[in-house]
Structure 1
């Protein structure tokens, strides 16, 4: 019988081989399948007679007390009903001692026994010292190469196999021998590769469940489990975790083609995942007892822990460096105010946070690149492909031509791609590139599946001679560190862009508010203009119409002379009003006048010469700000209006004294003009003080235009004007401006 009833396996279906229901075991032990509740024997291997001296049919449907002494069965029952079942244990049946391996499978107990080999104290001490030395040595090593060499040397010396090799898996489950220890004359597989089909998925799954697997003799006749179908369940029993389960016939043929007669494999797990194998080969049959198998298993666990520790240590150091560089890049972006400049045009660039050799960013319809990258049109081709085909915020591959066939043309620049999506809508991406690696891979034989042999059965390959393959179109893989730090970069860049957009929106909103205030001011001026037109123009026009009607009623020379005289007076008043309007409009249009350094003292002296007609009047100054960076026409107009206003409303009872003062306080610049004139009651008229055509004392030269224009000019400079006054005590006008307008100072108060 084969391993299965009515099922044949070859390379065409080995990926789905049901190895859990193999119906045979290896002959170096025996197997009994018991009902977990009653402990009744339901199946067993045909070789029980060789080990126990009883025929299989004697045990069917019975418990083992049929052949055990009462003391043996009492102990055995206790061992089998222990929760959980301890395995292995020393099992005694019919005065014979065995290593007993027991485990539950559904509602069955699988009991397997192999010969017990006692060890003396000297041998145990020697084994302990050997392993202790291995542990001490492994703690002093840090490279994977040195750790691997230590492991294969220890296993080979301890187990004395012809060949011991360390076999590791890549991401596609191909294998590579990275360390090896052989006896003289034994062929080497060091640094050679094996295709994933050599260890198919069911076998890899088994390696994670059964970490130690021994085949003492591949030519030994397998022993059938009878019956193959469990009569109680109507199906074969799952023996996937069996210690003795016969190997796949494909695997046995594979070993025979390699010239191997005995093998032992020990699984290496790192971070809970299948990482590799310790594989032992011997050219003649070889059995290794439990004690030695277990010692090597402990060595494999120690090795896996050392690999994990060193890998994590290297990963953490690299990740810490990458994160530090990422923080520097963020600082550069913030300092320059530009993502492109901060990532590409400073001392550190995107190339400092990965092992990539080129990088690009496409943002705001602009492409920026650095290092070894595809051409600009090829980069845009990649971005268009990402937009159309990738929904994730990050995409990475080490073989870009698999996704974009035309990328084969630029594989020297970009076989590897890591893409970060900033905004698909705006076509904004950050791209990292890795070039094609120049790699020659040596396979242990042609990795392609062989053709059918005799009888159309597909056999495993027979040749393990070196077969060289040139690797094309692939880059060095992207590491977890690279993926983690670039995702961190993406998060920070998106945050910066969102912040910048928020700032821009705030600027636009502030600008809108400013424009709104300006419109409000202009609307107020329009209201003033409307008032002027309504009050100062419409009224004279009505009077002119009335005079014209009067003349029509009495069209004589006397009436004509009267009408023409009065009309001339009205026309002059209307002309004055139009002149005032032109002055106001000119002031409004001069808000963007050029700034220049203006001496405050020179402006005051000029105004003294122009307006000082009263010999008794006195104008003094106290200037702590001596120069202003300001449109000259504005400061001259402001000083003129305030000084002329002080003189115009001086008191007839005392000498006019006017004081002009400037100073700097905190972030404000102040200019005041104080007088001892008539003053005014601000409680009554303060709200009208800076209105158009508002006068508060009788004076033939008063029009109410100067203070209105002064307020317009101060506000155009971003400042404000206020007044303090009391009747018959004088008035002080205060102009408050930004300190940035001051450009020369004396020691202030």
Structure 2
């Protein structure tokens, strides 16, 4: 069987944080814990000090009905309570002629009952007067300092502890005594800091849940619970909700080293987070009963409420100021075309929205610096570091600990808050170093040591004042600072987006104007180039007919070359106009086209039988119809078939095949030939204008496949090529309307 009192085998500073404080298996000595089966109220476990309080041997209660302890008369009311939804309501009972307060709660399969001797309770009027006085004192406080001082005074007056402190946590859970009242013969701990390990994470979590923790006698002997393991579930008993739960031996030793005899701690909770503690110490043993502890809990809650109110009031005041500045910045950004100028050179600057020593803006590879900042080269390096951070908002008050290079400029930038607007758009706020002299309650580095006698860690023994100078730390960035930065990010992003939209609209207008000019140029090209080309064609024809015989063989060859070049120029003008008209076409005249009939028309137009009598053209039957602009589809098939026929014409048995195939999850058309193929280096360029991979062997302008690609794009389709040089080509395409 595993004993629940065992500690982790590895002895290091994590032990304190990992100690199983909720199942220590023992209780304090000022009351008795009894665990029963809620189904039948049979007692299954009991604290061994039951002998002292109940007048019988503790093990005599095991296995007996709870009636054996409470009697028939009291048991009736207790059963009604335990079966109700208000199980946690305290109930007064008599046992062994002693008046007890019984506190019940469920823990898994177990019903746990805490029995504490009941002291004389003050009248309800006295309790009401106490709370009314507390409330009035808190309401009269004008600052957090006044509120904390009032809380210590009232707590000491109500409960009589020798020392009462307000203990506040920082961002790293180190604690500081910010208010204190004490007996005159005790040394002051006001202003002392304590490391986070003094109150480990699991202890802080319990304070959030249960809020008040009392240790009646630091020198008590822990009371075992018998049996150690619950018979109901064969697991250690979780007693984290019990007010009698024993105290960690490490914490007990810690209090003894501080010469504390008893303690009381009450949680100060602000916005759901543990802000700090009302910490009470007494030189001797001191017991507070349940009602007194409830009074302390109410006091801590009223303190927390008033503290939240004061912090919210201060936050609202700062937020209003920041909001006014942000609104002015928004106005400046609307009035100024350049965001950087609006943020940095207007009546209000972005550095005023958050308290800082200086700031920087990085947009479009340019820096704009305001106030005290690192140098530009240092900022470039810092920016590269921040770009690696996962979130749009980065902040730290200890930059040099994360980015050692920053140690060189910690005087101006120990703290940085950086807002990412978009890629290559960042805004920085910098806070200077605030050298702090921190007084610790003992050396924070000497947290614990190995105790051979106890075979565990022991806390430090010295709590004498230990001073440390902290450098490279700025004022911390508050939640409000981050909220303001995020709000500004939205404003800047919206402004940049609006500016980009204006720029796009202006460019679109320019593009439309250029498009119209290009259209006019195309028609002008038709008129201005066609006339001289046709004139040249006529002159060359006359020269050929009337004077060919007068020319030498070389002259006749030059004349033929001139006529060929003139013809090529005429074809080029036609293709350019054709391509231009595709780009400027306003829309498609969509209709259903019989593909086989359309291909037949194209083949007649190409005059395959007359011009290419050796070529075999195979058209697979039942080609699917096409939805599109018939004129454009004619151009599409005309260019593809003309290329296939032309570039296979030099083969011994030229062959062209037209059909469909299932590719890319759809039915696609293909035009296949056994011609010259396409060189590998030309495959990616073949659909661009004026790109040819065949030299002068075949006539052409290099625009045909560009026209094919453009027509298919207008029909929301795709075209691609499969080819190997010298082994033919297959052009695949599909259209979607």
Q: TM-score, normalised by structure 2?
A: 0.69
Deviation at 1:532, TM superposition (A): 8.8
Deviation at 1:520, TM superposition (A): 4.4
8 A contact 2:70–2:93 mirrored in 1? no
Deviation at 1:460, TM superposition (A): 0.7
- In the other structure, the counterpart of 2:435 is 438
Deviation at 1:420, TM superposition (A): 1.6
Q: Aligned partners of 1:247, 1:530: CA distance in 2, in Å?
A: 102
8 A contact 2:43–2:66 mirrored in 1? yes
- In the other structure, the counterpart of 1:664 is none
- In the other structure, the counterpart of 1:450 is 448
Alpha carbons of structure 1 residues 133 and 201: separation in structure 2 relative to 1, 3 Å: same
Alpha carbons of structure 1 residues 85 and 204: separation in structure 2 relative to 1, 3 Å: same
Q: Aligned partners of 1:385, 1:399: CA distance in 2, in Å?
A: 14
Deviation at 1:407, TM superposition (A): 1.3
1:290-349 per-position Cα deviation (integer Å, ceiling 9, x unaligned): 232222211111110111112122212212221221121122122121111011111211
SS of aligned partner of 1:485: helix
Deviation at 1:527, TM superposition (A): 6.4
RMSD value, Cα: 2.8
- In the other structure, the counterpart of 1:153 is 153
Alpha carbons of structure 1 residues 440 and 352: separation in structure 2 relative to 1, 3 Å: same
- The aligned runs of 1:616-695 (5 Å cut-off) are none
Moved more, 259-268 or 501-510: 501-510
- In the other structure, the counterpart of 1:46 is 48
2:72 equivalent to 1:73: no
2:358 equivalent to 1:358: yes
- In the other structure, the counterpart of 1:212 is 212
- In the other structure, the counterpart of 1:409 is 408
Q: Aligned partners of 2:75, 2:27: CA distance in 1, in Å?
A: 25
8 A contact 1:3–1:22 mirrored in 2? no
- In the other structure, the counterpart of 1:496 is 495
8 A contact 1:266–1:277 mirrored in 2? yes
Alpha carbons of structure 1 residues 181 and 532: separation in structure 2 relative to 1, 3 Å: same
Deviation at 1:99, TM superposition (A): 1.2
Alpha carbons of structure 1 residues 178 and 138: separation in structure 2 relative to 1, 3 Å: same
8 A contact 1:99–1:115 mirrored in 2? yes
Deviation at 1:529, TM superposition (A): 5.6
Deviation at 1:522, TM superposition (A): 5.2
8 A contact 1:68–1:94 mirrored in 2? no
Deviation at 1:541, TM superposition (A): 9.8
Moved more, 504-513 or 336-345: 504-513
- In the other structure, the counterpart of 2:30 is 28
Q: Aligned partners of 1:224, 1:538: CA distance in 2, in Å?
A: 118
SS of aligned partner of 2:448: coil
Deviation at 1:515, TM superposition (A): 2.7
Alpha carbons of structure 1 residues 196 and 531: separation in structure 2 relative to 1, 3 Å: closer
8 A contact 1:138–1:306 mirrored in 2? yes
- In the other structure, the counterpart of 2:425 is 428
- In the other structure, the counterpart of 1:257 is 257
Alpha carbons of structure 1 residues 5 and 485: separation in structure 2 relative to 1, 3 Å: closer
SS of aligned partner of 2:280: strand
Alpha carbons of structure 1 residues 255 and 120: separation in structure 2 relative to 1, 3 Å: closer
Deviation at 1:21, TM superposition (A): 1.1
- In the other structure, the counterpart of 1:600 is none
Deviation at 1:194, TM superposition (A): 0.6
2:197 equivalent to 1:197: yes
* Unmatched 5+ stretches in structure 1: 550-749
1:7-45 per-position Cα deviation (integer Å, ceiling 9, x unaligned): 379764111000111122111111101111111111101
- In the other structure, the counterpart of 1:642 is none
- The aligned runs of 1:457-476 (5 Å cut-off) are 457-476=456-475
8 A contact 2:109–2:233 mirrored in 1? no
Deviation at 1:365, TM superposition (A): 1.7
SS of aligned partner of 2:89: coil
- In the other structure, the counterpart of 1:90 is 92
2:509 equivalent to 1:510: yes
8 A contact 1:87–1:103 mirrored in 2? no
SS of aligned partner of 2:70: coil
8 A contact 2:7–2:19 mirrored in 1? no
Deviation at 1:128, TM superposition (A): 2.3
Alpha carbons of structure 1 residues 541 and 248: separation in structure 2 relative to 1, 3 Å: closer
* Unmatched 5+ stretches in structure 2: 548-737
Alpha carbons of structure 1 residues 517 and 87: separation in structure 2 relative to 1, 3 Å: same
Say which one has the larger Rg. 1
Q: Aligned partners of 1:209, 1:229: CA distance in 2, in Å?
A: 25
Q: Which runs of 4+ in 1 moved over 4 A?
A: 8-11, 453-457, 519-535, 537-542
- In the other structure, the counterpart of 1:226 is 226
8 A contact 2:253–2:459 mirrored in 1? yes
- In the other structure, the counterpart of 1:318 is 318
1:269-304 per-position Cα deviation (integer Å, ceiling 9, x unaligned): 111121111111111111122232222211111110
- In the other structure, the counterpart of 1:100 is 102
1:142-201 per-position Cα deviation (integer Å, ceiling 9, x unaligned): 311011111110000111111000111111111111111111111211111110111112
8 A contact 2:435–2:472 mirrored in 1? no
SS of aligned partner of 1:452: strand
Q: Aligned partners of 1:400, 1:529: CA distance in 2, in Å?
A: 70
1:32-91 per-position Cα deviation (integer Å, ceiling 9, x unaligned): 011111111111011112211121222111112224331122122222222230332212
Alpha carbons of structure 1 residues 512 and 163: separation in structure 2 relative to 1, 3 Å: same
Q: Aligned partners of 1:304, 1:278: CA distance in 2, in Å?
A: 10
- In the other structure, the counterpart of 2:338 is 338
Q: Aligned partners of 2:74, 2:531: CA distance in 1, in Å?
A: 125
- In the other structure, the counterpart of 1:656 is none
8 A contact 2:448–2:460 mirrored in 1? yes
Q: Aligned partners of 2:319, 2:268: CA distance in 1, in Å?
A: 25
Deviation at 1:243, TM superposition (A): 0.9
Q: Aligned partners of 1:259, 1:67: CA distance in 2, in Å?
A: 39
- In the other structure, the counterpart of 2:687 is none
Q: Aligned partners of 1:386, 1:82: CA distance in 2, in Å?
A: 57
Q: TM-score, normalised by structure 1?
A: 0.68
Alpha carbons of structure 1 residues 3 and 249: separation in structure 2 relative to 1, 3 Å: farther
Deviation at 1:528, TM superposition (A): 6.7
Alpha carbons of structure 1 residues 3 and 150: separation in structure 2 relative to 1, 3 Å: farther
SS of aligned partner of 2:449: coil
1:456-475 per-position Cα deviation (integer Å, ceiling 9, x unaligned): 74321111111111112222
